[in-house]
Amino acid sequence: MESTQGAEQSTESSSTPLNPTNPGTPPDGQETEPANELLARVEFNEAQTSASEVEIAKAAWLQSVQEKLGDGVAEVAEPIVLKVPYSGRLCLSPEPADGLLGVVGLPGETSDSLELWTTVLKSTGYPFLNQAAEQALQNLQQQSDNDTLAANTLYQVTVEVEYDDQNCISREALLQSRTGASEEPNNSTAE
């Protein structure tokens, strides 16, 4: 029964980081599992990408803001544009779409601080890119002079994903490299 415990320990230690650009080295006997986990993290999710879903999300967001803050909330007409780089090496199919975040600046604990309440109104199609956009917005607010966003104000933030489809690795190539199933190895010149 010792071999069963070893296999269980190997499974537990095979978790990989959430960063889709660094899949990690697979443990012995599990060459395809980390590759499959990586692929699952960058899987397209069509939820909240259609125009009707976006309109429903906007209406729900506006209602929740009004319930929380009342009618005294200003709304900025022009959206803020936020560029989010995709530095991953894995090709995304389909390519990420522009996303849209709903943001409200809420007064923070101190008089000069501002907390952001963000909601994904339109998904890029990739949850990890939506999260990266929300984090980039938080970072922008923290790095600025607190003049970027005002308290009790609604903002819409257009998320533009900087994606380069010319410098990425296809899913098929990744799986072949992880399983050793490539028919023509790149470095085999010896006979």
Count of beta carbons in the 10 Å neighbourhood of residue 131? 13
For the stretch 163-187, pLDDT in tens is 999 999 888 887 788 776 545 544 4
Give the N- to C-terminal CA distance of the chain in Å, as an integer: 42
Residue 185 Cα distances to 31, 88, 181, angstroms: 17, 23, 9
SS (H, E, C) 14-48: CCCCCCCCCCCCCCCCCCHHHHHHHHHHCCCCCCC
Q: Which residue has the higher pLDDT, 173 or 62?
A: 62
For 104-140, write each residue's pLDDT tens digit: 988 888 877 788 899 999 999 999 999 999 999 988 8
Residue 12, pLDDT score: 33
Average pLDDT score, the chain:
78
Whether the pLDDT of residue 29 is over 50: the answer is no
What's the predicted TM-score (pTM) here?
0.71
For residue 66, the surrounding DSSP H or E stretch is helix 51-69
C-alpha 55: how far from chain center: 21
